[in-house]
Amino acid sequence: MNHPHGKPLLIWAGVLVLLAPAFFLLATRFGYSSEPGAPFIYPDTLHHAGHKLFVHQWSEQEGLGPFFNQNSCVACHNQPNPGGGGTRIEQFAVHVERNKRDSTGTFYPKFHLTQQGLDTIPLHSTARLRRPQTLYTIASLDAISDTTILQLADAFDLDNDGITGRAIQTSEGVGRYGWKGRIARLNQFVRIAFQNEMGITDDEIDSNQIIQTVQLLHDLNEVNRYEPTTDFSEGRSLFNQLGCGFCHMEQLPDSNGKPVYTYSDLLVHDMGKILDEGFDDGEVKGPEFRTALLTNLGRTPPPYLHDGSAANLRQAIEKHGGEATTSIRAWHSLSNGEQKDLLKFLRNL
């Protein structure tokens, strides 16, 4: 029997088939991915403006340079989607010792815009690489009070557990952003990124553009918010038994007492000789690093660690030293099956 609405339905089906590629292109343009767990960028006005800034390729006329690393945010933060980390060496920032009298580290630009064109700056002899961090959940850190972080600090190991986490005080508050934890607030983190990575100063960028970029990071955090699960209980149990959770704390309270899932205490710790950069970054010593966030670790592709020196999570674990020495010894005492359980847990965070 012919359906009374058969022809209209067929017509609409045909229209949808024809429009499907266009919908796909639009979705891809604005950051949507069909991959499992990939972030979806909401098309509200402010977020859309932040996304446009994130993928925008800045020109010299707009303030790029004269010294810079890349000409857009997404050039480095793009794996597996915009807002993710960077995985290729050419995306890494370069960090160097400034000079012998002043050992404070500084970012070292890769490119120099001159009247003759674009010059590539030779790599400094004391260069250290910095992998672009995954940005999906960093906006949640602003909700954690300075007091909470200060209460976790134990610079003199008064509890005799071998862990001496330090809070880094800055003019803006207690540090929590960046590999060395020297940046206190998200808007400051964004401003510094524009300046260090693209040479775009406060005079060259509108304050609303900073606000829009910060909003983008907040929206990405909402989309990619970590949800605790009871899955992978064997690996989770081993994670805590080995003492990993002393520094990689699953959650910290916000100002209202609600949990913010970080898998970090946001303190800096001595990570030992293998990871020692050989020079200080302000008051943060060469082997000291802020505890890395492990939320969304499962969607962060290799390489790992601040310099990308770990090809996989096993290597990242085994490069830990310093305050993590006891935990690493315990890791090496695990059976092959137990190590696999722990790695499986980490891959699913």
What pLDDT is stored for residue 279 in this prediction? 87
pTM: 0.85
Looking at residue 114, its pLDDT comes to 87
SS (H, E, C) 20-56: HHHHHHHHHHCCCCCCCCCCCCCCCHHHHHHHHHHHC
Q: pLDDT at position 34, please?
A: 32
d(CA 158, CA 143): 28
Residue 302 preceded by cis peptide, ω within 30: no
Confidence of residue 234 (pLDDT cuts 50, 70, 90): very high
Nearest to 194 by CA among 210, 181, 183, 178: 210
pLDDT of residue 336 exceeding 90: yes
**pLDDT of 159:** 87
Q: Could you tell me if residue 9 is inside a domain?
A: no
Residue 18 lies in a domain: no
Backbone φ, ψ for residue 55 (5° rounding): -100, -5
29 in a domain, yes or no?
A: no
Please, which pLDDT band fits residue 99 given cuts at 50, 70 and 90?
low
Least confident of 31-35, 137-141, 154-158: 31-35
* Average pLDDT along the chain: 86
Residue listed under structure tokens 């020079």: 279
| pLDDT tens digit sequence for 272-288 | 999 999 888 989 999 99
Amino acid at 257: G
Mean pLDDT, to the nearest integer, of 20-24?
Answer: 37
Q: Which is more confident, 210 or 118?
A: 210
The answer to whether residues 191 and 200 touch, using CB atoms and an 8 Å cutoff, is no
Question: Which H or E run contains 215?
Answer: helix 207-223
Residues in CB range of 159: below 8 A, 6 or more apart: none
72: in domain: yes
pLDDT score of 241 more than 80 = yes
Q: Is the CA virtual torsion 213, 215, 217, 219 positive or negative?
A: negative
CA pair distance 47, 41, nearest whole angstrom: 8
- Look at 23 and 98; give whichever has higher pLDDT: 98
pLDDT at position 189 over 80? yes
Residue ranges making up the domain that contains 110: 45-347
Predicted pLDDT of residue 273? 97
Which comes out higher in pLDDT, residue 87 or 43?
87
Q: Count CB neighbours of 282 within 10 A.
A: 12
pLDDT at 230: 85
Question: Residue 127 has what pLDDT?
Answer: 82
The average pLDDT across 245-255 equals: 96
Query: Is the pLDDT confidence value at 100 over 80?
Result: no
Distance CA 167, CA 184 (A): 11
Q: Give me the phi and psi of 142, to 5 degrees please.
A: -65, -20
259 belongs to a structural domain: yes
Q: Which is higher by pLDDT, 177 or 108?
A: 177
pLDDT at residue 105, as a whole number: 59
* pLDDT attached to residue 299: 86
Instruction: Take residue 143 and report the two structure tokens written for it.
Output: 């909700």
Statement: residue 295 has pLDDT above 70:
yes
The yes-or-no verdict on residue 1 having pLDDT over 90 is: no
Structure confidence at residue 42 (pLDDT): 46
Task: Work out the average pLDDT over 7-27.
Answer: 40
Does residue 270 carry a pLDDT above 80? yes
- Residue 79 in domain: yes
CB atoms < 10 A from the CB of 81, how many? 21
Q: Is 35 within a domain?
A: no
The number of folded domains in the chain is 1
Provide the residue type at 122 as one letter: P
Distance separating alpha carbons of residues 124 and 95, to the nearest angstrom: 9
In a domain, 15, yes or no: no
Strands 67-68 and 93-97: unpaired
**β-sheet bridge partners, residue 259:** 253
Per-residue model confidence as pLDDT tens digits over 61-78: 999 999 999 999 999 999
